[in-house]
Structure 1
């Protein structure tokens, strides 16, 4: 039996910078080992450790600087000519170089120098999660660059845009072009079918200098309202061709470059950058298209379908990124609680703070487990588009992961600010930025209402329940340790409730189904997460007899699926006091403690 060598001493750290985020949260490594293909994890682990150090040191320090010196837009030059120049602080340029040169995108599209094959997108998503410990804003263009590359890889079957794909997946920052997604219009918002941007074939168009055929060159006219990474060269945008059907069925997808092949700015106007609450490092603005060159991608009637590839990827990255925010908020809270004294003792020694930190740790591991499960099945489907089970699972899990983790990130950042006290409310402390950045996570790529309705479609149209329910059963069937018996029984009971809820919603009218959609999404998250945590606990017990993950699973179930009318006050249970060092500081734990 091999248990942990001892708890992590967070009191030895001054704050959540100048450290290695991968090393300080062993739950990250254990979760990656669970979901990665085995050969890829063995290759990836040392690289994730190296990237954790890069993010925890240089990128984290630079991100604090960039938050005070965000991008600036110069729409016209001094002679009044269109320029569309976005100026970045040198710290932002260094962060981009450190991120892209690490291979976090390139390795998933082209074989790394020491491998015969690329790794999966799961690796990119894990690295983006670590990046979000430092800067959600920086992770946004990284995510869109990978997402745009994925769309072109999947849907540009004729290879018209291979040069864009090569740029989006370049291994060197010097050769890289960045991606973007111009989706939102002011009158439409989440209603993408209301897109009014018009695309007309360019008159007398000759083949573009970059090899694009003349019949794929269009001119776009309209406005895009919320355009992040506004100056991306690999921008994807939706527009409607003349006489195309209404709604999403009539939308076509276009590559809209920042610069034309001859080096001139494309004929679009970056009107202004948004004065945002957070994510300062990514330039988000308004764009006016006026006879703007766009290159048609694939079948002109399938543009929205193509864009959903990127949209689903962005939702997964939103979820894994939210986990990064929760992880940084938790780390800052652990460090402060270990160092801050009140009434003669570190505040981490007081029962209320111990319960708070256990709650935060368990929430972190719950969000981590569910979002990485969604990422795993997304990655499975991208490896094999004939994998129907993977598709159904990603359709059920991805919208729920994005829905739940975005709100969890806000709650974690807010409470981390409270733990810091007045300092947490001050701009010089990172909790201030974490909360500002986290606030966008429920908004990006679809609000909770939109995501919950998408979940209903996944069950109604794609029969996602046919893969989801057996997945839960499979995880619960792994559980056999006596210390987990009572918790497993509770989860099985709630799994039956989930099945009954799915049947009720399926047989109800549309109004009632929509009314209950968010409740269904939350119940699904709780049941699936509990099953995963229990299976992880069983594997850890089998591996080395350590019940630390069993305590995590037990407390998650106690606080989400099995609270009584007395809020647990009358049961005499105080797991956070008995298991604090194991859960929060990663010490080992005897199974008898959890069983009791």
Structure 2
């Protein structure tokens, strides 16, 4: 271990840096969730990508935000053209990102390997990409998601599209999309009105409207529609691939009506689409569309979470740099107690969100490697909606406060925090609002009995903590875990209306207890590996702020971890367990 805290004053801003190298917490989480053989191979690629994102891609992202895509629905003769015009900087970011293997490496063995990497690798790269442009992560994520759907549910009929979605060549790669929302339906997927008329055995013509279509001109778009005489509701939906151009190279029979004038995520074109007999290819079996689409929804919700964490990471980095460089009354503002606490809070929130999002990604990755493992499925289904729900809101709060730390500049579009906040605000909306996600959690617990995997999982995390410095903390989390179990039993026996009323509270409660358990386990791991108690402080502060109800809100207890351990948590200085134990003894 080095004894020198990181000096953020050496940077002017959070760009032209290597995001991978500047994020020890991310490196530790990636090492934890990757299979060991994969991480040892992938680390150098992540380092290269962190450098690329922190330089060229970050610079391009600001240019793209000022010069977003433009839609030309018609040509000069009035014929439908559906042409989306992109700034050259967007094309460069696409080339650099896809050729780095962000999607391909998870489906096709990269050079030097006999097997593909897991989806945890794609998620980690997407998190790094979110440091620069969370909007661009949307098409990247949907490209991987569409490929995952075809890998799992197509019988080879759409192999040409699968190969395009998973290509690492900028000449042949195609992007994916998911056109789900219709104006009358919103989150009520069963209300979809788009119809599908059979042309031949696997080819259909789609008619209808899709209201919120991100990556509007993708060649690998997945859409739900209802065939003739199919049942009402989600049971009657089939899944189709609707290309921008048909297999014979003709522009498909659809109209890109307009692009949405959005608050943020400018880099991804989002608009309205009218299917006018658009050629579409059936994915898998008919009337299985909603089931198939849940593969992509689970994936997108986890990627939404890691995207939120990426925004938080960049916001935290910009805040550390500003606080280290900006002086007030002759002293860097990071030296003032209130700013120390603010940065400490932001750092702990970041590591909490990071731990939970990466854990959700780990279980999704494991499930996609082995669909027959029921416990893995149950954990994936439990953690996924919670990860998306909580991290999305945390990213908005973190980005908002990062603007405040920048002062007036933070509110000005010349500075990146302005864009981070605008981009973060869509995250609670994409892939299901917090209410929809909370109800999904109730379904997983009720219909799928996912508590059968969740409870032993939390017990195993807590039982891993055996270092004396962690004893009081593990005891506090264990006590709260018992209360959570009581809450789960109470809701299981409650009527449906009351259960729905409490669903969001439950989702946040599960997040707090699971995250506290993860952070305690991470602290034990770091103590074992390097005798460093830094993560023990991270865990302790998270527990104090989320699970413990201190009298008088803790004002009179004299506890000031941010002042005592600022360098350890914010600047990643090591902390010996003896020093922590001595300080805890004095405090008591």
In structure 1, distance between residues paired with 2:282 and 2:113? 34
Structure 1: distance between partners of 2:557 and 2:481: 24
Displacement over 4 Å in runs of 4+: none
Task: Give the structure 2 partner of residue 182 of structure 1.
Answer: 179
SS where residue 201 of structure 2 aligns? helix
SS in 1 for 2:239: strand
Which position in structure 1 is the counterpart of 2:89? 91
Corresponding position: 1:249 with 2:247: no
Give SS of 1:287's match.
strand
Matches of 1:4 and 1:500 in 2, distance apart? 44
Report Cα offsets for 1:529-563 as digits up to 9, x if no partner: 01110011011111111111111011111111113
1:486 shift after superposition: 1.1
Q: 2-side partners of 1:151 and 1:124: how far apart?
A: 15
Aligned pair partner of 2:16 in 18, 28, 46: 18
Offset, 1:565: 3.1
Aligned partners of 1:16 and 1:335 also within 8 Å: yes
Q: Rate the CA distance shift 1:4–1:504 in 2: closer, same or farther, 3 A.
A: farther
Query: 1:407, CA displacement in angstroms?
Result: 0.2
* Alignment partners' CA distance in 1, 2:136 and 2:210: 21
Check if 1:404 corresponds to 2:390. Answer: yes
Which residue is 1:167 aligned to? Answer: 164
State the secondary structure of the residue aligned to 2:21.
Answer: helix
Summarize deviations over 1:315-367 as a string: whole Å, max 9, x none.
Answer: 00000000000000000000000000001100000000000000000000000
Residue 7 (1) aligns with residue 5 (2): yes
For 2:52, the equivalent position in structure 1 comes to 54
The C-alpha deviation readout for 1:81-128, integer Å capped at 9, x for no partner, is 111000100001101111100001101001111000001011000100
Partner secondary structure for residue 556 of structure 2: helix
Q: What TM-score results when the alignment is normalised by the length of structure 1? A: 0.97
Partner of 1:298: 284
Tell me the equivalent position of 1:437. Answer: 423
Question: Which of 187, 194, 199 is the matching residue for 2:196?
Answer: 199
User: How far does the alpha carbon of each residue in 1:457-479 deviate from its partner, in whole angstroms, 9 at most, with x for none?
Assistant: 00011111111111110010011
Report the Cα distance in structure 2 between the residues aligned to 1:281 and 1:540, rounded to whole angstroms.
39
Question: Which residue, out of 107, 119, 122, partners 1:124?
Answer: 122
Distance 2:325 2:281 in 1: 57
Alignment-derived partner of residue 45 in structure 1 = 43
Structure 1: state its 5+ residue gaps.
Answer: 203-213
User: Residue deviations 1:369-428, cap 9 Å, x none?
Assistant: 000000000000000000111100011000000000000000000000000010000000
Q: For residues 100 and 56 of structure 1, what CA distance do their matches in structure 2 show?
A: 16
Partner Cα distance (2:288, 2:43) in 1 = 39
Query: Once the two structures are superposed, what CA deviation does each residue of 1:239-281 show, in whole Å capped at 9, x if it has no partner?
Result: 0011111110000000000001222210000000000000000
384, 391, 398: which is aligned to 2:377?
391
TM-fit CA distance, 1:185: 0.1
TM-score (norm 2): 0.98
Q: Structure 2 unaligned runs (5+)?
A: none
Match of 1:569 in 2: 555
Whole-Å separation in 1 of the counterparts to 2:213 and 2:3 = 49
Out of 511, 516, 520, the residue aligned to residue 525 of structure 1 is 511
Give the aligned partner of residue 298 of structure 2: 312
Within the alignment, does 1:217 sit opposite 2:179 as a pair?
Answer: no
Aligned positions of 1:462-501 closer than 5 A: 462-501=448-487
Say which SS state the counterpart of residue 295 (structure 1) adopts: strand
1:144-163 alpha-carbon deviations (Å, 9 max, x no partner) = 00000000000002x00000
Question: Any residues of structure 2 matched to 1:572-583 within 5 Å, and which?
Answer: 572-583=558-569
Q: 1:368 aligns to what?
A: 354
CA contact (8 A) 1:224 1:286 kept: yes
Q: Is the 8 A contact 1:4 1:586 kept in 2?
A: no
Q: In 2, distance between residues paired with 1:81 and 1:12? A: 55
Q: Distance in 1 between matches of 2:468 and 2:558?
A: 21
Q: 1:202-281 alignment to 2 at 5 Å? A: 202=199, 214-281=200-267
Structure 2 residue 80 is the aligned partner of structure 1 residue 82 = yes
Q: Which residue of 149, 152, 156 corresponds with 2:150?
A: 152
Looking at structure 1, the residues matched to 273 and 296 of structure 2 have their Cα atoms a distance apart, in angstroms, of 20
Query: 3-state DSSP class of the match of 1:21?
Result: coil
